[in-house]
């Protein structure tokens, strides 16, 4: 594929659900999309499907839980493209949705799983790709988070999220939001912006086997807010947490 498109964006977990929809939405706006997925087969399949829809897409094998995989992916992108303009940290897990036998209210294994992907995976990817983002005139890091990670919402009895008790997932997303804040400060004065986004309750496999039937938001609708934040450019915000309605309380 040609590498002459203005914006180059990497989406992790781009082979299905929100990740694929985000890659598609970015591609529809003329972005060169790097479709990240855990295996070569899944990455190729996603890229081929995007290409069939007329989108400039290339596969990138990237397992966020493997430092070697992440580093190989960064070297590949650097060698082929020389820079990265947008990084969408989409890959994530909600382990409580698939663990009815888990110890309640706390299960260390669920915390390890959630943090390994949702936090440590995001940190590994950012660390590996930051040098490429710094070569961009308007580098964007978008961390796909959740309002369920908002401490304010968890403590607000009037919030629809107040009754949701998913300790591993919520704690991991709160930690991801903390990363957004601290990293936006660390990169202040550079060309790189860092923001968190909640796409809503989305019809994907993330929330368990019944989620597609119960979630109110389609992946395509959710991708709109993610892609819009990713393409805000040099004049866009940094250190913010937003959803479809606007700012979310930390």
Confidence of residue 217 (pLDDT cuts 50, 70, 90): confident
For the chain, what is the domain count? 1
Alpha helices in 66-191 (DSSP H): 67-81, 108-115, 122-133, 151-154, 167-186
CATH number of the CATH domain containing 86 = 3.40.50.720
Give me the helix-helix angle, 122-133 and 67-81, nearest 10°.
20
DSSP 216: S
Within-domain flag for 1: no
Within-domain flag for 80: yes
Find the angle CA(215)-CA(59)-CA(85) to the nearest 5 degrees.
80
Within-domain flag for 168: yes
Within-domain flag for 2: no
Q: Mean pLDDT throughout 110-130? A: 98
Taking the whole predicted model, whether its pTM rises above 0.85 is answered as yes
Cα 176 from Cα 186, distance rounded (Å): 15
Cβ–Cβ < 8 Å for 164, 146? no
* Structural domain of 226: 8-247
Residues marked active site are found at 161
Tokens 């947008």, located at residue: 86
Cα 3 from Cα 25, distance rounded (Å): 18
Select from 36, 27, 37 the least CA-distant residue to 6. 27
Within-domain flag for 81: yes
Answer whether residue 215 shows pLDDT above 60.
no
Cα 184 from Cα 137, distance rounded (Å): 16
Per-residue pLDDT tens over the stretch 134-190 = 999 999 999 999 999 999 999 999 998 899 899 999 999 999 999 999 999 999 999
Weakest-pLDDT range from 50-54, 104-108, 167-171, 194-198: 104-108
DSSP element (H, E) containing 9: strand 8-11
Per-residue pLDDT at 207? 55
């Amino acid at each position: 594929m040609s590498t002459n498109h203005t914006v180059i964006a990497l989406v992790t977990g781009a082979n299905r659900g929100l990740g694929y929809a985000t890659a598609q939405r970015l591609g529809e706006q003329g972005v060169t999309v790097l479709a990240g997925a855990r295996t070569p087969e899944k990455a190729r399949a996603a890229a081929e499907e995007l290409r069939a829809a007329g989108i400039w897409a290339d596969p990138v094998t990237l397992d966020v839980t493997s430092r070697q995989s992440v580093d190989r992916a960064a070297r590949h992108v650097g060698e082929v493209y020389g820079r990265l303009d947008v990084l969408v940290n989409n890959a994530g897990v909600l382990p409580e949705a698939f663990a009815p036998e888990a110890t309640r209210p706390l299960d260390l294994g669920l915390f390890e799983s959630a943090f390994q992907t949702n936090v440590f995976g995001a940190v590994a990817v950012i660390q590996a790709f930051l040098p490429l983002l710094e070569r961009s005139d308007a580098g964007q890091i978008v961390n796909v988070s959740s309002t369920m990670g908002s401490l304010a919402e968890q403590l607000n009895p009037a919030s629809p999220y107040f009754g949701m008790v998913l300790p591993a997932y919520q704690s991991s997303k709160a930690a991801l939001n903390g990363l957004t804040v601290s990293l936006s400060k660390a990169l202040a004065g550079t060309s790189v912006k860092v923001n968190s986004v909640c796409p809503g309750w989305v019809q994907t496999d993330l929330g368990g086997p019944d989620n597609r039937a119960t979630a109110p938001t389609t992946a395509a609708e959710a991708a709109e807010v993610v892609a819009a934040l990713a393409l805000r450019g040099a004049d866009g915000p940094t250190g913010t947490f937003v959803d479809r309605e606007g700012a979310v309380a930390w």
